[in-house]
């Protein structure tokens, strides 16, 4: 039968529910508060949780939100309360609870609710993406979420001015309606059709770095922008460049002015160095819950090593590193040596490996690509310092990197 976790601060209720459920053949674990529930949830991976709303340390609704935001709501949750209201039940259901039981709980109602929840749990559902809601302890990330919520309440379009190590994707995922479509315009290489927008109705359109969009992708962006209201879509676009720099780099000025009507400055990982360990830990938890990596945890030294990394490629680079570390680690704990091996700087002797039998133009481009990638890595993706180091004016530098197929601010990753 099922593994069921009962969370209630009243010992009498815990014991009563435990006795009933064990008589039905279930395996039951008990927790008296949210702290114990968190530990039991991680260790036991229950098939169902019966969760009281009113508890002394953290209330059940807050714990439900926490699990949902961290991608840990992988089991059905039935809420319980002796002082519940319709509003509370509606909120719990919106967050992800399967049912709501009022105390005192009648035997048949309990068994029926447990049966329905377990039956629904057997139906595969899409895993939610990690969002800023998961970071409850990091004040800068909490504030960023509040600003995003305020802006999105009044506008379907948001332009993010991101710093080095962009969190643009994490911001957009935060504003994405759960269960709705995600359409990355930078990965859409064909003309955008009405059918694609119809299929994405209610979802999120995303463009990570505007300067990297081709002319066709810019046209797709304009096409979608005109139809956001019709298909109930949201659009988040981001760039490390200013409006003037984007125009100088060849971006459509009229389209850019429309996108920039509502903008928000978003910190990058370079500004959030102290938050990197929590972000990495949450990414790892999310990947484990999604079944993408085995059960792993970071050592304190490994988290400190991640904190000290530049992360020029932003959230995507950090997520890829966490996934790689979890998949490659031989032990349950990921040690600092694993981080050092994965993130060790590439040797600068790569330039000597250039083939000398290329035509002069191709050989020059190959050298320039290695040259700029090397200095981009040394400067941690900082475009201002890169311009100073290479002696190029910034607009010229952006054009050069784009021509060479080097993603700006993303170490070693081509467009």
CA angle (159, 162, 165) in 5-degree steps: 145
Which residues make up the CATH 1.10.8.60 domain(s) of the chain?
Answer: 273-343
The pLDDT of residue 328: 94
Which residues make up the CATH 3.40.50.2300 domain(s) of the chain?
Answer: 3-121
CATH of domain 273-343: 1.10.8.60
Which residues make up the CATH 3.40.50.300 domain(s) of the chain?
Answer: 132-266
CA angle (331, 138, 174) in 5-degree steps: 90
pLDDT in tens, 252-304: 999 999 999 999 999 989 889 999 999 999 999 989 988 899 999 999 999 99
The pLDDT of residue 109: 94
Residues 6+ apart with CB under 8 A from 233: 156, 197, 200, 201, 202, 203, 204, 205, 224, 227
CATH of domain 3-121: 3.40.50.2300
Q: Tell me the whole-structure pTM to 2 decimals.
A: 0.67
- Chain-centroid distance, C-alpha 270: 17
Return d(Cα 238, Cα 266) in angstroms, integer.
9
CA angle (289, 294, 295) in 5-degree steps: 75
CATH of domain 348-404: 1.10.10.60
Q: Into which CATH architecture does domain 132-266 fall?
A: 3-Layer(aba) Sandwich (3.40)
Which residues make up the CATH 1.10.10.60 domain(s) of the chain?
Answer: 348-404
pLDDT in tens, 7-37: 999 999 999 999 999 999 999 999 999 999 9
Return d(Cα 129, Cα 71) in angstroms, integer.
7
My answer on whether omega of the bond before 104 falls inside 30° of 0, hence cis, is yes
Residue 198: exposure state from Cβ atoms within 10 A (0-12, 13-18, ≥19): exposed
Q: How far is CA 345 from CA 338, 386, 392, 408, in A?
A: 14, 17, 24, 18
Return d(Cα 367, Cα 411) in angstroms, integer.
16
Radius of gyration of the chain (CA): 25
């Amino acid at each position: 039968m099922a593994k069921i976790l009962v969370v209630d601060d009243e010992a009498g209720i815990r014991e009563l529910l435990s006795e009933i459920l064990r008589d039905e053949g279930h395996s039951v674990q008990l927790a008296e508060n949210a702290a114990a529930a968190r530990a039991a949830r991680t260790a036991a991976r229950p098939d169902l949780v019966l969760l009281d709303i009113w508890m002394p340390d953290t209330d059940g609704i807050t714990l439900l939100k926490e699990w949902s935001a961290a991608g840990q709501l992988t089991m059905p949750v039935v809420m319980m309360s002796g002082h519940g209201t319709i509003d509370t039940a509606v909120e719990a259901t919106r967050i992800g609870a399967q049912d709501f039981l009022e105390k005192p709980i009648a035997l048949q109602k309990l068994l029926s609710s447990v049966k329905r929840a377990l039956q629904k749990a057997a139906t595969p559902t899409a895993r939610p993406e990690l969002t800023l809601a998961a970071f409850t302890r990091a004040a800068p990330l909490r504030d960023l979420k509040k600003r995003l919520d305020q802006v999105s309440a009044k506008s379907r379009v948001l332009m993010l001015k991101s710093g080095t190590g962009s969190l643009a994707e994490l911001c957009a995922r935060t504003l994405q309606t759960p269960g709705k479509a995600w359409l990355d315009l930078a990965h859409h290489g064909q003309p955008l059709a009405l059918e694609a927008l119809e299929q994405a109705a209610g979802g999120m359109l995303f463009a990570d770095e505007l300067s990297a969009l081709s002319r066709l992708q810019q046209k797709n962006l304009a096409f979608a922008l005109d139809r956001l209201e019709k298909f109930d879509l949201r659009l988040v676009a981001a760039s490390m460049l200013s409006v003037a720099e984007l125009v100088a780099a060849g971006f459509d000025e009229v389209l850019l002015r429309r996108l920039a009507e509502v903008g928000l400055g978003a910190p990058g990982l370079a500004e959030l160095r102290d938050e990197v360990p929590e972000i990495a830990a949450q990414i790892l938890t999310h990947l484990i819950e999604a079944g993408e990596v085995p059960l792993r945890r970071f050592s304190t030294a490994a988290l400190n090593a991640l904190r000290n990394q530049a992360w020029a490629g932003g959230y995507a680079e950090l997520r890829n590193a966490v996934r790689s570390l979890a998949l490659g680690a031989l032990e349950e704990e990921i040690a600092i040596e694993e981080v050092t091996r994965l993130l060790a700087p590439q040797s600068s002797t790569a330039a000597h490996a250039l083939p000398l039998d290329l035509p002069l133009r191709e050989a020059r481009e190959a050298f320039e690509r290695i040259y700029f990638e090397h200095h981009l890595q040394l400067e941690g993706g900082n475009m201002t310092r890169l311009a100073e180091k290479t002696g190029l004016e910034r607009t010229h530098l952006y054009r050069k990197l784009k021509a060479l197929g080097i993603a700006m601010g993303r170490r070693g990753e081509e467009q």
